[in-house]
Amino acid sequence: MLQTYIDVAKSVLLHNLHIKRDEQILIVTDSSLHEIGEIFSRAGTALGNETMLIQMTPRSKSGEEPPKIVSEAMKAADIVLCITEHSLTHTKARKEASANGARVATMPGLTLDMLEEGAILADYSEIEQLTAQYCDILEKGEQVEIMKDNQTISFSIKGRKAIPSTGVFREKGESGNLPSGESYIAPLENSANGTINIDGSIAGIGVLTEPVTLEIENGRLINAHGEKGRQLLELLGDGPGRTIAEFGIGTNKKARLTGNVLEDEKVFGTVHIAFGSNKSFGGVTEAGVHIDCVIKDPVVYIDGKQIF
């Protein structure tokens, strides 16, 4: 079975990251995902590329910065795979590595099961096309309205740039999640108002057995009901972590709702909103935390037009 995992990892390096013969690979992992980090390290070595595996202590939450020695190594590599318990996607370290030309794939919470089936085995040419379509809608849009169970949240995306997360990285500086498949954008931070049920999953908490009702005023999460809601508020803290950060649309038809937000937020037919940091993709908030909340089967309007 180990060789099967290594073969999938080799395919990821070849077909998602389009690795070249002379490029150097850095695998950033932590003690919780060291086994999977080692699989990708073996894959890189098997392809004949100089490959380094660096292990750190797990971060306490998504968006928390890695140690300086890790962030410096990220800037020096051609290819960076962040196979960690919590996401490094929205960190300064990732942003600086991208600015330095590294192609960075963040793979928080990756499991062996995800190397066997689901999102990572999707048709990524289809994902690229679908993601581009939704990004075009977001790019041209100004006002978003999400409806679910007779509840509504609305916010502005006017002037903000849509980001395609396709899981395919060909050019220097490209980055995103892997597996992937989402179109996302940073809402204007003070524009969100309304109440919405989160019924899919919450990053760091998992699949929800009952909905969590969020109340948002002027872009800030003011209340989240139930035990899981209290956990969400604790993760976000009392400061800028409660500011709305992201609106995303899933575009991966192979993705499953598993409790791992890396795959959950990519499920086709779902959307997600996030709170916390968004400066790395066009917003203004730096909070040291970024938590995604997935909504199943919503009705979404952009500028009054239903998009699905």
Start-end ranges of CATH 3.40.1830.10 in the chain?
Answer: 2-116
The neighbour count for residue 187, using CB atoms within 10 Å, is 25
Helix (H, G, I), strand (E, B) or coil at 119: helix
| Number of Cβ atoms within 10 Å of the Cβ of 211 | 20
What would the two tokens of residue 61 be? 């939450």
- Provide CB contacts within 8 A for 96, sequence distance 6+: 71, 74, 75
Find, among 248, 158, 155, the residue nearest to 195 by Cα.
155
Query: Going residue by residue through the chain (308 aa), what tens digit of pLDDT does each one get?
Result: 899 999 999 999 999 999 999 999 999 999 999 999 999 999 999 999 999 999 999 999 888 999 999 999 999 999 999 999 999 998 999 999 999 999 999 999 999 999 999 899 899 999 999 999 999 999 999 999 999 999 999 999 999 999 999 999 999 999 999 999 999 999 999 999 999 999 999 999 999 999 999 999 999 999 999 899 999 999 999 999 999 999 999 999 999 999 988 899 999 999 999 999 999 899 999 998 999 999 999 999 999 999 98
* Stated pTM of the model: 0.86
Tell which CATH classification among 3.20.20.80, 1.10.1060.10, 3.40.1830.10, 3.40.50.720 matches the domain 2-116: 3.40.1830.10
Q: Spell 215-253 as b/e; 16+ CB within 10 A means b.
A: bbeebbbeebeeebbebbbebbeeebbbbbbbbbbbbbb
How far CA 271 is from CA of 145, 211, 243, 248, 280, in Å, comes to 12, 15, 18, 6, 20
